[in-house]
Structures are given as C-alpha cells and as structure tokens.
Structure 1
Amino acid sequence: MERTNLTGASLRSAYVHALAAQTCVFDGADLTGLRDATGTLFHGCSMRGTHLDDGHLSGSSFYQCDLSDASMRNMNLQGALISECLLDSAALDGSCVDQLSVTKSSLRDTSLRSVAGHGLALQRLTAADGLVLADAGLPQLRLTGVQAHEWRAAGLKAPDADFTDLTVTAADFSGAQLTGARWTRCTLPQVRLGGASLSNGSIVESSLRGAVLTAARGENLHIVESDLSDAEMSTFLGRCLTVRDSSLARANLRHANLYRAMITGDPPRGMSLRRAVLDGATLVQAYIAADLREAGLVGANCAYSRFSQSDLSGARLDGAGMYQSTWVKTVVTGASLTGVKAPVFTDRCPGLAEALERDGGPAATEFAAFVENLGAALAKGRKGST
C-alpha cells in the first residue's frame, strides 16, 4: 500500500499479515484489533490519533511515522521496532513490549503505564518530557542517551535495568522495584526514590543531588564516584552498602541501617560526609574512612565499627555507642563526645584528649583512662609508623 489516504477509515479486526504501508495517511483511522499483523511495516505514514488498540503487531516496524495522540493500548508489540517516529501524547497503556526497541523517537507525554515485557529499549530519544512509566513491569529495561523533564515512574518494576547517560529532572521513581539496576553517568537532580528497592545495584559516575531516598532499600548497593549531596535518606536500609570516592555531604541519614557498610575514600577526604546527619543510625561493624567534619552521629550505634583515618573534626557523637570501635589516626579536634563510653581502640587521634577533657563526666574520665592505658601498651611494641 503506497500513498493511500485512509483518514478516518475503519479497519477494525482486519487480517493484515505482513502489510507494508508507505507514505500513507491513517489519521483518525480505526485499526482496533488488527489480527495477525505480525511483520507489518509502516514507513513514513501519518497516523495521528489512529486507534491501534488490541492489535497483534509483534515483529512490526514503524519508521519515520507520526503516531502523535495515537491510541495503542493493550497491543502486542513483542520484538517490534520504532525508529525516528513521533509518539507525542500516544498511549500504550497495558501493551506487551517484550524486546520492543524505540530509537531516535519523540516520546513527549507518552504513556507506557502498566506495560509489560522483558528488554524494552528506549535509546537516543529526541524528546521524552512527561514520559509515564508508572506501574510498568519491565525487567531488563534499557534507557540510554536521554535528556528529559518530569518522568512519572512510581511503582515501576524494572529489576536488572540499565540506565546510561540519562539527564532527567524531576523524575519520580517512588516505590519502584529496581533491584540490580545499574545507573551509569546519570544526572537525576531531586529524583524521588522514596520506598524504592535499589538492592544489589550500582550507581557509578552519577549525580543524584538532593535525591529523596526515604525508606528506600539499598542492601549491597555500590555507589562509586557519584554525588548524593543533600540527599534525604532517613530510615534508608543499606546493609552492606559500599560507597567509594563519593559525596554524601549534608545528607540526612537519620535512623538509617548501615550495618556492615563500607564508606571510604582514597584519600579518605575523597569520601565526603561533611555535615551529614547520622543521628540514631546503625553503623554496627561499618568501615568508614571519610570526611565527617561537623557531621552528626548523636545516638548512633557504632559498635565494632572502624573510623580509622576519618576526620571527625567538629562532629557531634553525643551518646553514640562506640563499643570496641577502632580509631587509628582519626582526627577528633573539636568533636563532642559526651556520653561516649570505652572501650574504644584509639591510636594517634589528634584532639581526642582535649575533647574528652572538655566534655568531662564519668564516661569521659573512664574513656580517657582507657586511652592512656592502651597508648602505653601500644608504645611498648611500636617500632615505627604504620
């Protein structure tokens, strides 16, 4: 079919196996329920406002078509290819998108609500503002090379997703299931990930400044060379979390569970927790070598933790549980240690003696005596700096 005008025509439930349509006009046409339209090709067609609901178009191709405002709900698009098309304000709600590939196309205000399928690929989109992915089931989703604003993806289920070179402002992934997802070179300022699952995933060379991760799960999550400054992470569940050479400056981690987390920088100041709030957090057996200047750890549970080579200058550790924590070459200048009790294994910690003297009280006196006795024991066996 070539250069045919079918504006407003009705082809409801038509049998069109392997149809080839080139430079045709289907504007407003009713193509609902196309039967066995597998392998169909639409090339350079105008399909504005076309109804394609419930059609079976697996393996079909749309190339340089205008599908703006099209209704494509509950379609079977398994293995289909959409390239260099306009899908602005199109609705694909509830469709099967298994292995669907969308390339160099415009998805402005396009709705993919509740779509389902493995391996959906959205790559190098020309526009994607207002894209809706809410409640979609998209394991192994792949999003590459997209710049957009205001995505609505609350409740998205996309385990093992791959997000690369994304720049999206005001994105909402609240409650999303993103276990095993990989975020690489992404910029997502103020992204909303409250209640989301990010366990076993990775965030690499990305910026999530001001991200909302309240009550999110990030067990065994790896964050490398990324910026989460000013992030809201209260009650974050991050057991065995790994953060390296990143920024959590001014992040709110109140009551976060960071059991056995490893938060380190090379050098230690390359990992910023400056002015971060970890009041009431769980840091049992955590390993931290970071910039913690002016940070808050009031009432934190840090039993068996390691703070060696960290900078705790001006930090507030009042009432923190430091049972058998290890501090080697840890800067404690100007820190508040009220109520911190021994045993804490310390060695060459600038400002520690002054901090304990300033805080006073029975706990500080006992702590100071423990430090003095430990220092004397270490001095006997020390043969050089470690």
Structure 2
Amino acid sequence: MTVRSSRRSGGARWRAPVKPRPPSSLDLATADDHALGDEATFRRLGFFDLDMSAQSADGVEFEQCRFRGSDLSGGHLDGGTFTDCLFERTNLANLRAEKSSMLRARLSASRMTGLHWINGAVRDVTVSECRLDLSSWRFTDFASVVFEGCNLTQADFQNADLSGVRFTNCDLTAAQFSQATMAGTRFANCNLAGIGGVTSMSGAVIAHQDLIALSYTLAAALDIQIEDVGGE
C-alpha cells in the first residue's frame, strides 16, 4: 500500500530521517526462487549480486531487505513498497516505479540514472553518493529525506512536494523544480546552475555560498539584465 504524505504549506521544522530497522538475520535470495511477481512479498532477504533487471510487477512488497551489488535496472514496478530496506552498490538505472513508496531506507553508492519514481512517496530516506542524473520524481511527496553527495544533474522534481528534503553537496545543474512545493527545502554546498522553475523556490533555505549561481538563474527567469559597471 502506497504511503502518501499530505501537501504542506509553509516551512516545516526539519527532522532527520528515521533510520531503517534491519532484521537480526537475513536469508539469501536466489534468482530462481525470488523473481518479481504481482503481489509478491519479500521479507528479511538479502539480494546480493543478483541480476533482476527488466522485471515488472504490480503491488510487490519488500520489508527489511538488503540489496547489495544487484541489478534492478530497466524494470517496472506499479504500487510497490520498500520498508526498512538498504541498498548498496545497486543498479536502479531506468527503473520505472509508479505510485510506489519507500519508508525508512538508505541508498548508498548506487546507480540510479534515469530512475522514474512518479506519483509516489519517499519518507525517512537517506540517499548518499548516488548517481541520479536524469531521474524523475514528478508528483512525489517527500518527508524527512536527505540527498548527500549525489549527482542530480537534469533531475526532474516537477510538482513534487520537497518541503521535507535536504540537499547537501549535490550537483543539481539544470534540475527542474517547476510547480514544486519547496517551503522548508534546504540546500547546502550544492551546484544550482541553470535550474528550472526557480520561481517555485519560495520558502526554501539556501546556504549563502550557493546563492551566487542561483542569483543568475533567478535574474534570467525574471528577465533581469546584469551588466558590469566599471570605469574606463
């Protein structure tokens, strides 16, 4: 069942993500016995170095699972849920997840280029040192989420609720924020050059060192001309 947060107005007080709750022990998953299927439920499993690419399923649930070195790229999940899961060096490139949710999870050093997480929910999640260029998060609600040290160039956050997100040391060059909810969204030491939808950033909190690049983008959006004025 997809967990959705309500749209918020005004800056909410920042809350760090709740850590995942790993199981005391894991059983090892196998490609033959644990292929994705509609309404399948996977609990306390370790998906280590498995090729699960290009698989599709509706309503699949993962609870207290750990993914390490596995390949889930190019698949399609509709209404999937990931609860208390860990992802390490996992390939999620071009995975399409619609109306899916992620609750209490951590993703690290994973490839997520072209990931589509559309009209879903992400809550109490930390994404660290991941490649997320060209990813799309349209109409997704975020609550207590951290992106740190991530490549988010040309990521698409249109119509997303980002009021519960903190971006730290991320490359957000040419990312799209049109019609996003951003009151309380925090940016620190990020590259914000060329972002789209800058006028949607009302209420966001931006570190002063990030403001210079953003000011040029904002000026362009408002058709403000900038010129150097100096003596002969």
TM-score (norm. length: structure 2)? 0.77
Aligned-pair CA distance for 1:73:
0.9
Residue aligning to 2:132:
112
**Does the CA-based 8 Å contact 1:12-1:30 persist in structure 2?**
no
Alpha-carbon distance in 1 for matches of 2:59, 2:37: 10
Aligned partner of residue 64 in structure 1, secondary structure = strand
Residue aligning to 1:158:
177
Per-residue deviation, residues 351-372 of structure 1 (Å, max 9, x unmatched):
xxxxxxxxxxxxxxxxxxxxxx
Change (3 A) 1:43 1:102: same
Select which of 31, 44, 60 maps to 2:80: 60
From the two aligned structures, give the one with the greater strand fraction. Answer: 2
Aligned partner of residue 116 in structure 1, secondary structure = coil
| Residue 32 (1) aligns with residue 49 (2) | no
Q: Percent identity?
A: 17
1:93-108 alignment runs, 5 A limit: 93-108=113-128
Aligned partner of residue 82 in structure 2, secondary structure = strand
Aligned-pair CA distance for 1:3:
5.5
| Residue 176 (1) aligns with residue 195 (2) | yes
Instruction: Compare CA radii of gyration and give the structure with the larger one.
Output: 1
**Does the CA-based 8 Å contact 2:62-2:85 persist in structure 1?**
yes
Change (3 A) 1:187 1:138: closer
Residue aligning to 1:124:
144
Change (3 A) 1:60 1:15: closer
Change (3 A) 1:64 1:138: same
Aligned-pair CA distance for 1:46:
1.2
1:1-386 alignment runs, 5 A limit: 4-6=27-29, 9-10=30-31, 14=35, 16-35=37-56, 37-125=57-145, 127-178=146-197, 180-191=199-210, 208=211, 210=212, 212-214=214-216, 216-219=219-222, 237-238=223-224, 254-255=226-227, 279=229
Aligned partner of residue 111 in structure 1, secondary structure = coil
Residue aligning to 1:245:
none
Change (3 A) 1:139 1:62: same
Greater RCO, CA 8 A, separation 6+: 2
Alpha-carbon distance in 1 for matches of 2:107, 2:188: 21
**Does the CA-based 8 Å contact 1:168-1:189 persist in structure 2?**
no
AA matched with 2:215: L
Aligned partner of residue 114 in structure 1, secondary structure = coil
Aligned partner of residue 84 in structure 1, secondary structure = strand
Aligned-pair CA distance for 1:180:
4.3
Residue aligning to 1:288:
none
Aligned partner of residue 163 in structure 2, secondary structure = strand
AA matched with 1:25: G
Alpha-carbon distance in 2 for matches of 1:34, 1:182: 37
AA matched with 2:178: P
Per-residue deviation, residues 16-52 of structure 1 (Å, max 9, x unmatched):
11110111111222211113x1110000011122211
**Does the CA-based 8 Å contact 2:36-2:60 persist in structure 1?**
no
**Does the CA-based 8 Å contact 1:12-1:32 persist in structure 2?**
no
Alpha-carbon distance in 2 for matches of 1:146, 1:157: 15
Aligned-pair CA distance for 1:183:
2.8
Change (3 A) 1:175 1:148: closer
Aligned-pair CA distance for 1:218:
3.3
Aligned residues: 206
Change (3 A) 1:83 1:13: closer
Unaligned ranges ≥5, structure 2? 1-24
Aligned-pair CA distance for 1:89:
1.9
